[in-house]
Chains A and B, each alone.
Chain A
C-alpha cells in the first residue's frame, strides 16, 4: 500500500490548463457549431457516447479525455451510461446500416432538449467508408446534427475544445 501512495505522491498532479476556446480557434480545429446552445446547458453536460460504426479510433481518443492530463470532468462534462441521463449524444463512425435503428432509438431515448455532436471525419462526412449497401455515411444522414468535430481521429485537445465551445463557458 505504501508503494501505491508513494507513486501517487511522486506523480503529483499532471492535469493541464485549458482556456475556453474562441470562435476562430474552433474553426481552425475543424469544429462547426451550427447554433448557440441554450443557457440551461452552461456549466455542465452529460454525454452519452454512441459508436454507430466507427473503427474504434475515435473511441480511443474520447477515452483519453478522462486521463489525468485532460480530466474533462473538472469542466462539468461527464459521460453517462444511459441516453436517458444525457444532454448530448457524441456519435462516432459512419452510421452502419446495422446500427441505424439502434442510433435512432438512442436518439429518441434522450430527453429534450438534446444536442448531437458528430465526432470524426466518418461521422462528419462518411470518411473512408462513405455511403454503401452497409453504411449510411454521415451521422446527419440519420439524425439531426448540431455540431461536428473533424479529424481522423480528432485529438483529445480538439474534442475538449469542441465540448467547451458547446457549453460556452
Chain B
C-alpha cells in the first residue's frame, strides 16, 4: 500500500461512519516548501472533527495501527482548539476539534492510547479541559505553584500569575499504594544523589524486588509554553535551545523548521547540511556520554573514563569549530550562524577517524567483559508490545524493535539527500539500548561524512519574511532521543501565539515504569540511565 493510500482509505472509512472530515492543509504557505521533493502539506494533513468523535477517532486509528504522536491545546477567545497528532508510514495526521470554554469537556483518547495519558493530564492542568473517561485524571504538571481552579495557559492568566512567597511542597499527591506483609515504599527525590535533574520516584518493593514504580515529574516546570507567547522568532529559537540542554540542536531545529514552514521560507542547502552535521554531532556527543554512564552505573569505571574522555575531545571540537561546546544557538530562524571552512571539514574528518579507531579498541574490551554482561543483558526488559503501546521513540523504541526514524521515514532536508541504515535491536534490554547507541554513533559518523561531501558554496541564512497572522506549522525532526514534534502558530506582527514542543521523553518516561518491574532496586539507576529521559523536556 503506498503511503498516500492509507489516508484516503482511512478517510473514506471514517466518513462512512459519519465523521464528515474535509482534509485540509495545515499551512497553505508551506505548499511551496519542498519536502523530500513533495510539498510538506502532503506529509501532514489536517483533519477537523466534531468533539463528540474525539475518542471514537482514536479507536479507528488504533485499528489502523496509527501511532499517537502528540497532543496539545490552544485558547482562542471562547473556544479551546484541541489537537492530537498521529503518524503512520511517515504521514502525519493532525486531528483538531473545537470545544466551548463554557463547557470544556472532551472524551479521552488515553483510554485507547496509553501514550496520550500524561499529555491529556498536562492539558487538563494548564487549560482546565477535562477529559472524560480518562483512566487516571490525577494532576500531573501542577504541583502547588498555582491553584486547582486557575489554568496558566488560558489567556486570562498572566505570565506572572499570583505565586505565594514560598511555594509549598506537593505533599498530598495520591500515589498508588500497596498493602501486605513485607511491602514497603521507597521515596526518592526530587533532589537526587548524583548530578542529575530533579524528579520523584516512588518504589513499592518487596525485599529488593520492585513491585511498582511511579514517577512524579513536573519539578522543573518553567512555564516554557507561556513565556514563549509574544516572542520574536529569534527569541523563540533561543528558548527552544534551552528546553533540554542536551538536545539544544534538536529542539532549536524543530522550532525553526516549524517557524520557517509557517513563514513559507526554504533554508539554503548549505545551511541544511550544516544543521545535519550539528544534529549528528549532538547525537554522537550524547551517546558517548550515555554509554559511559550506563557502564558507570554498574561500577565499570574503565568505560566511564574512556567515554567521558572521548566525549570531552568531541565537545572541544564543537567549541573550536562551531564556537559552543554544546552547540547552543547555532541554528537560527532561516538557517545557521556558523560556517564550515575547508580546514574545519578536514579536522572533523580526522577526528571521526580517530574516534572510530578509539572505539574499535574500547568496544571489544567492553564486549568481552563478563561482569558487565551479567548486569546489562536481560535487565530492564521492555517488550516490543509495551514499547509500541506507549509510542516509545528513538533508541528506546529502536532497542525494542520499533523501526521508526523521522530521518528515514519522513525525511526533511538534508536527510532526503543521503542514505543510511537505521540502527535496530530487538532484545529490549539494557544491553540492547547500549548497543543501539553504538550503532547510531557509527551511522551518525557516516552521515556527517556524506553531508561534508555534499557541502557546496552558498548562503547560510535565508531572508526572513513575516508570516500572516494565524500561520501555523509542525516541525518534526529526529533529535538524539528520537522524534521531536513542535507546533508553532504566529500572531500578527511576527510574534509567537502558541508554541508546543513535544520532547521524545514525554513518551519514553512511562516506559521506565514498565521496564523496571521485577528488577531489583539497586538496578534502577542503570535502568534509568539506559532510557535517559529529559526531566526538563518533559516538564516544560
Contact = CB atoms under 8 A, between A and B. Distances in A.
Given A4-B369, A98-B167, A101-B169, A134 B536 contact: no
Q: Name the residue among A50, A127, A135 with the largest chain B CB count within 10 angstroms.
A: A135
Interface string A56-75: 11111111101111000000
Interface stretch (B158-166, B428-436, B443-451): B158-166
Given A98-B145, A101-B168, A135-B223, A128 B238 contact: yes
A60 B308 contact: no
A96 B362 contact: no
Nearest to B169: A101
Contacts of A14: 309
Given A60-B289, A67-B311, A98 B170 contact: yes
Q: Name the residue among A10, A59, A67, A136 with the largest chain B CB count within 10 angstroms.
A: A67
A44 interface: no
A60 B365 CA distance: 26
Interface stretch (B49-57, B188-196, B379-387, B492-500): B188-196
B325 A61 contact: yes
Interface residues of B, number: 65
A133 B160 CA distance: 5
Nearest to B315: A64
Interface string B259-284: 00000000000000000000000000
A51 interface: yes
Interface in A30-84: 49-64, 66-69, 79, 81-83
Contacts of A97: 143-145, 163, 167
B328 A133 contact: no
Interface string B134-164: 0000000001111000001000011111110
A90 to B, nearest CB: 9
B312 interface: yes
Interface residues of A, number: 57
Contact of A129 (B227, B244, B319): B227
B30 interface: no
A134 B325 contact: no
Given A102-B198, A128-B239, A58 B245 contact: yes
A68 B305 contact: yes
A10 B302 CA distance: 13
Contacts of A64: 308, 311-312, 315
A87 B306 CA distance: 30
Contacts of A100: 166-167
Given A55-B242, A55-B536, A132-B161, A98 B308 contact: no
A57 B144 CA distance: 26
A82 to B, nearest CB: 7
Nearest to A155: B325
Interface string A132-162: 1111100000000000000011010000000
Contacts of A79: 195
Nearest to B143: A98
Nearest to A56: B245
B220 interface: yes
A20 interface: no
Contacts of B167: 97-98, 100-101
A51 B306 CA distance: 26
Contacts of A66: 308
Contacts of A62: 195
Nearest to A106: B191
B364 interface: yes
B325 A128 contact: no
A165 interface: no
A11 B244 contact: no
Contact of A59 (B161, B193, B196, B226): B196
Nearest to A121: B242
B290 to A, nearest CB: 11
26 contacts: A3-B368, A7-B361, A53-B222, A55-B243, A59-B195, A59-B197, A59-B245, A63-B195, A64-B311, A64-B312, A67-B309, A82-B193, A97-B145, A98-B167, A98-B170, A99-B190, A99-B220, A100-B166, A101-B166, A102-B169, A104-B166, A132-B227, A133-B145, A135-B222, A135-B223, A136-B163
9 closest A-B pairs by beta carbon, nearest first, are A57-B245, A133-B161, A134-B223, A97-B145, A81-B193, A67-B308, A55-B245, A3-B365, A56-B245
